[in-house]
Amino acid sequence: MTFALANDAMAHVHVNWLSPTKIRQLVVGGSRRTLVWDDLNPQQRISVYDRGISLDRQSSAADRKASAISYRLGDTWSPALPEHEALGQMVAEFAGSIRQQRPARTSGVAGLRVLSVLEAVSDSLSADGKPSIVVGNEPQLEASR
């Protein structure tokens, strides 16, 4: 799935339930650093890579043709994170919302947002990958396969 997001950002999700190898990674590429979440690596769940490119822009039109791209290969940082069982955390959050009489962090509205994304993806698949609008109370997204 590919989503066009606000501010010219893009999200891509690849899911393969039949794959013999499981990969559970989230990669967030920014203008200064890249963050990688690897759910299957308990010793290094988050890694922050200080890597990128710099475009040396020249001031005159003639000099712009000679602009150079320089690659920056910096440090990698992996902070230690506490281990928690996901289902236990969800149950504790739900119980806390009941005890404190506050809305749960994942409400029915969050569930509806997930369903609207799944419906848009289903529509896109039915239309041979044609983009489909995600309908909901959030800013509109466009989903395609």
pLDDT for res 16: 87
pLDDT for res 110: 84
pLDDT for res 11: 87
pLDDT for res 46: 95
Enumerate the domain spans of the chain.
Answer: 1-81, 84-145
Residue showing tokens 């000099």: 63
* Contact (Cβ atoms closer than 8 angstroms) between residue 144 and residue 2: yes
Tens of each residue's pLDDT in the chain, 145 residues: 888 888 888 888 888 889 898 889 999 988 789 999 998 998 899 999 998 777 666 556 666 566 677 787 889 999 988 888 889 999 999 999 999 999 888 878 888 988 998 999 999 999 998 988 888 755 445 555 5
Q: How far, in Å, CA of 94 to CA of 102, rounded? A: 10
pLDDT for res 106: 82
DSSP per residue, the chain? -EEE-GGG-EEE----TT-SS---EEEEE-SS-EEEEETT-TT-SEEEEEEEEEEE--SSHHHHTT-EEEEEEEEEE--------HHHHHHHHHHHHHHTT---SS-HHHHHHHHHHHHHHHHHHHTTT--EEEPSSSPPEEEE-
pLDDT for res 75: 93
pLDDT for res 63: 61
pLDDT for res 87: 92
